[in-house]
C-alpha cells in the first residue's frame, strides 16, 4: 500500500509576471499579461486544492525588478488566501533581490520566505520535518556556484532546495550548477528555475531535481504546452512527481505547403484543413509559414485566418512559379513582368525570392485592376 504523502510541494519557476510581450500588439500584450496573472492564480488554486504545505518559486517570478501594483496586490492576496502554505521565493537573474526591488521594499505576509543572499542559506520548517535551502541573485549575474563546497548540517530533516541556476554550463553567468551538487548536498528534491523549457524532473542518487519551465510561453522560442510540478514526499523520503499543465495559450509554429494552388479558395481550403487537423483555435499564438510553388498572383485572406486564432504571424515563403510556363509564354504585360522577375524568382537566396514574389504579386494584382494588399 502506498504510504501517505508527508510533504506536498508545488514547484513553479519562471512565471515572469508583467512580461511586456512587445512582439504582440498593445491589446494582445495586455491580454497575455492578464493570462500570466490568471495562470498564477490557477496554480495557487491547485496548490491549495492539493493541500500543499510548500510552494517553491525558484526565481524570475517577475520579468523585471519592476512589477505593477496590480500584480503585487494579486500576489499578496494569493499568499494571504493560503495561510497554510509556506511560500519560498529564490530571486533570479530577472528579479534579483536588491535595494528597492519588490522583494526588499514590499512587506509580504508572514507565510512568505524570500532568500536575500547569494550564499546558501535555509528556512527551517521543523513542523514539516524539512528545511528549504536556497539563495538569491542580488544582481543580473551570479558567476559562482553557491553549492560548491556546501556541507549541510545533519539534523534529521528532509533537505529541499529552491533556487535559480544554470545546469547547462559550468561557465554560466547565471549561477553555474552541477548535478553532483545535489547529491553531495543530500537534497531530496531540488526545485530549480532558469531554463524555460523543462527537460523533465530527473533523479540522481536519492535526489530528484529539475526545472519546471515557464508556465506560459512568452515567444516562439517557447512553444507548446507548459506548466509546473507537483511533488509528494513520503515518510521514507521517496518522491512522486507529476507535471501539471497550466498554460492558457500556446505558441505554435506550423507550415502549410500550397504547391499547386491556383486560387484563393484552394489555398484557403488547404490552410483551413491544417487548422482543423491541428486544432488551431483561440488559445493558439500561431506562426504560419506558407511554402511551395503556387500560382502567380495568389493571395490568402490573412484577416480571416487571424480571426481563428489568438494571434497570427503569417510568413509567406511561397514561390509564385506554379503554371509559370503559361505566364512565360504570355505576350501581355503580365508575361513581360514574369520574365523580368524570373531570375530573382528562382534565385538561390530565399530573401531575393521572397522580394521577387511580392513584386510579382503586387504587379499582377495591379494589372488586374486591383490594389495590392500591402499598399
Ligand atoms: Mn526566466
Check whether 76 has a pLDDT greater than 50: yes
Q: In the 8-state DSSP scheme, what is residue 226?
A: -
Residue 58 CA, ligand 1 centroid: distance in Å: 10
Based on the structure, what is the number of domains in the chain? 2
What's the 68 CA to ligand 1 centre distance in angstroms?
A: 18
Does 214 map to a domain?
yes
Q: Are 94 and 213 contained in the same domain?
A: yes
pLDDT exceeds 70 at position 372: no
The pLDDT assigned to 268 comes to 95
pLDDT recorded at residue 79: 98
The pLDDT assigned to 1 comes to 47
pTM > 0.85: yes
**From the CA of 194, how far away is ligand 1's center (Å)?**
5
Band (pLDDT 50/70/90 cuts) for residue 319 is confident
Per-chain mean pLDDT for the chain: 93
Ligand 1 mean position, distance from CA 118 (Å): 17
Mention every residue, 6+ apart, whose C-beta is less than 8 A from residue 219: 23, 251
Q: What percentage of the chain exceeds 90 in pLDDT?
A: 78
196: CA distance to ligand 1 center in Å?
Answer: 6
Q: Are residues 169 and 259 in the same domain?
A: no
The answer to whether 362 and 374 are in contact (CB under 8 A) is yes
The predicted structure's pLDDT at residue 357? 86
pLDDT at 373: 57
Give yes or no: residues 236 and 273 share one domain: no
Answer yes or no: is 168 within a domain: yes
Per-residue pLDDT of 101-115, as tens digits, reads 999 999 999 999 999
373 within a domain of the structure (yes/no): no
Residue 35 and residue 129 in one domain: yes
Please tell me the distance between residue 180's alpha carbon and the centre of ligand 1 in angstroms. Answer: 23
15 alpha carbon – ligand 1 mean position (Å): 7
pLDDT of 374 strictly over 60: no
| Three cell numbers, residue 115 | 532568500
Distance in Å, CA 124 to ligand 1 centroid: 26
11 secondary structure, DSSP code: E
pLDDT digits (tens, 9 = 90+) for 134-159: 999 999 999 999 999 898 889 999 99
CA angle 196, 200, 206 (to 5 degrees): 125
* pLDDT 10s digits, 244-289: 999 999 999 999 999 989 899 999 999 999 999 999 999 999 999 9
Ligand 1 centroid, distance to 341 Cα (angstroms): 46
- Please give the Cα distance from 241 to 190 (Å, whole number): 12
Q: Which domain range does residue 360 map to?
A: 250-367
Does 280 lie in the same domain as 153?
no
Sheet of strand 311-316: strand arrangement: 250-257, 284-291, 311-316
Distance from residue 365's CA to the centre of ligand 1 (Å): 46
Amino acid at each position: 500500500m502506498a504510504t501517505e504523502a508527508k510533504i506536498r510541494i508545488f514547484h513553479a519557476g519562471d512565471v515572469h509576471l508583467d512580461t511586456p510581450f512587445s512582439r504582440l500588439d498593445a491589446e494582445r500584450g495586455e491580454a497575455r499579461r492578464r493570462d500570466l496573472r490568471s495562470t498564477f492564480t490557477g496554480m495557487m488554486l491547485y496548490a491549495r486544492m492539493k493541500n500543499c504545505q510548500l510552494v517553491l518559486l525558484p526565481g524570475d517570478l517577475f520579468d523585471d525588478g519592476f512589477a505593477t501594483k496590480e500584480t503585487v496586490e494579486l500576489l499578496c492576496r494569493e499568499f494571504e488566501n493560503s495561510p497554510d502554505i509556506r511560500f519560498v521565493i529564490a530571486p533570479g537573474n530577472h528579479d534579483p533581490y536588491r535595494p528597492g526591488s519588490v522583494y526588499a521594499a514590499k512587506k509580504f505576509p508572514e507565510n512568505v520566505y524570500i532568500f536575500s543572499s547569494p550564499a546558501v542559506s535555509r528556512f527551517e520548517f521543523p513542523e514539516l520535518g524539512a528545511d528549504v535551502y536556497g539563495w538569491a541573485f542580488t544582481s543580473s549575474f551570479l558567476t559562482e556556484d553557491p553549492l560548491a563546497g556546501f556541507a549541510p548540517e545533519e539534523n534529521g530533516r528532509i533537505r529541499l532546495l529552491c533556487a535559480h541556476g544554470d545546469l547547462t554550463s559550468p561557465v554560466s553567468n547565471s549561477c553555474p550548477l552541477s548535478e553532483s551538487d545535489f547529491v553531495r548536498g543530500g537534497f531530496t528534491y531540488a526545485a530549480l528555475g532558469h531554463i524555460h523549457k523543462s527537460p523533465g524532473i530527473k533523479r540522481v542518487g536519492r535526489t530528484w531535481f529539475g526545472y519546471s519551465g515557464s508556465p506560459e510561453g512568452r515567444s516562439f522560442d517557447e512553444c507548446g504546452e507548459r506548466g509546473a510540478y507537483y511533488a509528494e514526499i513520503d515518510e521514507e523520503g521517496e518522491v512522486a512527481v507529476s507535471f501539471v499543465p497550466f498554460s492558457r495559450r500556446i505558441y505554435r509554429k506550423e507550415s502549410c505547403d500550397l504547391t499547386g494552388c491556383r486560387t484563393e479558395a484552394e489555398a484557403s481550403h488547404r490552410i483551413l484543413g491544417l487548422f482543423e487537423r491541428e486544432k488551431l483555435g483561440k488559445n493558439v499564438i500561431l506562426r504560419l509559414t506558407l511554402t511551395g510553388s503556387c500560382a502567380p498572383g495568389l493571395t490568402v485572406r490573412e484577416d480571416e485566418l487571424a480571426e481563428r486564432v489568438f494571434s497570427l504571424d503569417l510568413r509567406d515563403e511561397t514561390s509564385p512559379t506554379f503554371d509559370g510556363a503559361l505566364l512565360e509564354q504570355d505576350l501581355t504585360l503580365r508575361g513581360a513582368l514574369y520574365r523580368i522577375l524570373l531570375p530573382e524568382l528562382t534565385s538561390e537566396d530565399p530573401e531575393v525570392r521572397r522580394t521577387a514574389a511580392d513584386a510579382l504579386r503586387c504587379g499582377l494584382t495591379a494589372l488586374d485592376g486591383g490594389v495590392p494588399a500591402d499598399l
